[in-house]
Amino acid sequence: MAYLPRTRLSTTSFISLFITTLLTSTLSLPEELFSLEIGTKIRFDKQSLMSVASDFGNLTKSTPAAVFYPSSSHDIAGLIHFSYTHSTPFFISPRGHGHSINGQASCSDGVVIHMESLGQGRADRINVSVANRYMDVGGEQLWIDVLSAAHAHGLGAHSWTDYLHLTVGGTLSVGGISGQTFQHGPQISNVLELDVITGTGQQVTCSKTHNQGLFNAVLGGLGQFGIITRARIPLSPTPEKVKWIRLIYTNIVAFTRDQESLISVDENERLFGFLKYLEGSLLMEQGLIGSWRSSSFFPKNDMQRIAQLTAKHRLTALYYLEVVVAYDEDIAAEVDQELELLLDDLSFEPGFEFTREVTYMEFLDRVHDGELKLHKTGQWQVPHPWLNLFVPKSRILDFDAGVLKGILGSDKANGPILIYPMNKKKWNSKMSAIIPDEEVFYTIGILRSATNDNLEKMLEQNKKILEFCTMEGIPFKQYMPHYTTKEAWMEHFGQKWDKFLDLKMKYDPKGILSPAQKIYTFLLEEDYII
C-alpha cells in the first residue's frame, strides 16, 4: 500500500537510505566530531546519560549514546550540521525540562541536547523591550523566569501554562494551553518571531511574514522541524491583584453550559477585559495527590458541607468552574458590579461560591507549591500515566457519561481531572498543532499519579478511554499525542498528514530531529514505500 503520492517517492527512497543507516547502526559517534570544539561539549558519563534517560511520566527509560551541553545556539547548529553532512548521520533530540510523559524528548542511541545549559550563567537569554511590548527569550528558558522578568516591568505574556516550570521551546513544540487559551489562544498563537535551527543545521529567523512556512511548522510541531533557540513573546500590562473564584456544580449540563457562555463573552464587553482565566475540574477528595495543582484552596471549614453535597446528589465527584478576574484597587468597584451580574447568570450550587484574593504572580505560579509538597513526600517522582484529550463540545456529555462517570467511575481520586473549553478561532490552522474540527472543544486532562500497584490498571483505563471514544465516534484529538503505529499518526494528522511529510522533508530531510516522537521513523517500515 502506498501512502505517499508518487511524486514524492524518489525523495523518500533517497532519504530512507540515510535513515536506515541511522536506525540500524548502534551509535558510536564519528571520531572527527571530537576534533571539533563542539566535541568537547559532549559527555558519555553515566550521570549525564541517566539524567536524561527518563522524564516526568516515569513510564519509559531510554539511554542516549551521549548528552550535548551547548553554550550557544551556534554549538547546536554545528552539531546538527555535522550529523546532517556526515555519511552516517545520527539522531539528535532537544530536551527542555524533560516534562514529557512518554519519553518524547529521549534519543535512544542518539544525542540528547541539554537545552537548559544554553542559558546557564547567561542573563542575556531574557530581554524585555518595554517600549515595544515584547520580550526575547531563549528556547531553554523556563516560563517562571519569563514571568518574573516581565513582571518586573508590570508586563506579562497573554497566554500561560498552568505550571510554569516548563521550557519555552518545550511548550511551543506542543501548543501551551491553560485558562487563558479561550481568550488569547494557546501559547503558539502568541509568538511574534522565532530563531530556529533546522534539521540541516541552518539557523533561520522566522515569523508570520518572514519564512512563514518554518514558523508555522515549528509551532506545535513536536520538535520535528527544528530547534527553537529564541522566541519573541508579545507582552501587555498585567494586574497586580486578582480575584480567584471557584463555583461548585453538581450537574454537567449546567457546568458546561456556563463555561461555554463565559468563553463566548464578546471582546467588546467590559467583562472580557477583566477576565484573566477560565478552567474547570472535577472536584474529588482533597488529599494532596488529588489537589496538588492548587492545594488548600477550599476553606477547611467548608469541606464537610462540600462532602455532604456530593453525598446528597449520590455523586462520586462534583465539578467546579474556576474564573479569575483582575482586581486592582482602582477597578475593584467596577469588577464587583460585573461579577455580581455574572454570578447571577450562572447555575452553580447556591452557597457554593468560594473566592480568594491573591497577587497575579501568586495565581500564575499556583501549581509550584503543590509540586514542592509532593517532592517532600516522594510523590512527584512516581509514574504519571497522564492522558490529555481535546473533545468537541457536541460530544462532551457523552464523554462525561462514558468516561468520567463510566470508565473512571469512582476511581478518580489519583490526580486532578481538568475539563474546560476553548475556542477554535483562537488557534491558527496553518500551524502544526492538531485540534478537533468544531468551533468549541474541551480540554480533558486526566493527570493521575500511579503506584506500582495501580499503574497497569490506569494504563488499561487510558486504553479503554481511547477505545470508547473511537467506538462512539467521538472525533477527539490527543494533546501531546503519543502513538505507536503509523496508522494512528495518520489518523491524528488527518488532512495535514501529507503536509507534515512535505515539511519534514523540507526542514529535516534526513529525519535527524526528535525521533522519540516516533512519527517519521514509520516511513522506514517496508510497506510504506511502494
Closest CA relative to residue 178, chosen from 191, 165, 159, 158: 159
Angle at 406 (CA atoms; ends 400, 408), nearest 5 degrees: 95
- The b-or-e profile of 483-517 (16+ CB within 10 A means b, else e) is beebeebbebbeebbeebbbbbbebbbbbbbbbbb
Task: Select 173 or 310, whichever has its Cβ closest to ligand FAD.
Answer: 173
Task: Select 149 or 166, whichever has its Cβ closest to ligand FAD.
Answer: 166
Which residues in this chain contact ligand FAD in the complex, by CB under 6 A?
55-56, 93-100, 104-105, 115, 139, 161-163, 166-167, 169-171, 173-178, 222-223, 227-228, 480, 514, 517
Task: Select 141 or 238, whichever has its Cβ closest to ligand FAD.
Answer: 141
From 109, 145, 162, 338, active-site residue: 162
- Tell me how far apart the alpha carbons of residues 295 and 325 are, in angstroms, rounded to a whole number: 20
On the 0-12 / 13-18 / 19+ scale of CB atoms within 10 A, 64 is buried
In the numeric block, which cell numbers belong to residue 496? 495535514
From 81, 99, 114, 482, active-site residue: 99
Closest CA relative to residue 92, chosen from 67, 75, 116: 67
Minimum distance of ligand FAD from residue 142's CB (angstroms): 8
Phi, psi of 279 (to 5 degrees): -140, 180
Task: Select 11 or 63, whichever has its Cβ closest to ligand FAD.
Answer: 63
260 is catalytic: no
357 is catalytic: no
Phi, psi of 241 (to 5 degrees): -120, 155
Q: Where are the beta strands (DSSP E) in 16-108?
A: 42-43, 66-68, 92-95
From 279, 322, 349, 400, active-site residue: 279
**319 SS3 class:** strand
In the numeric block, which cell numbers belong to residue 395? 460530544
First to last CA, the chain: 7
- Tell me how far apart the alpha carbons of residues 194 and 214 are, in angstroms, rounded to a whole number: 9
Task: Select 348 or 483, whichever has its Cβ closest to ligand FAD.
Answer: 483
Task: Select 107 or 335, whichever has its Cβ closest to ligand FAD.
Answer: 107
Contacts with 127 (C-beta within 8 Å, 6 or more apart), sequence order = 135, 136, 137
Task: Select 176 or 201, whichever has its Cβ closest to ligand FAD.
Answer: 176
Task: Name the strands in the sheet holding 111-114, side by side, starting at the edge strand that comes first in the sequence.
Answer: 42-43, 66-68, 111-114, 92-95
99 is catalytic: yes
Minimum distance of ligand FAD from residue 462's CB (angstroms): 16
Minimum distance of ligand FAD from residue 81's CB (angstroms): 16
Phi, psi of 507 (to 5 degrees): -100, -20
Catalytic site residues? 99, 162, 279
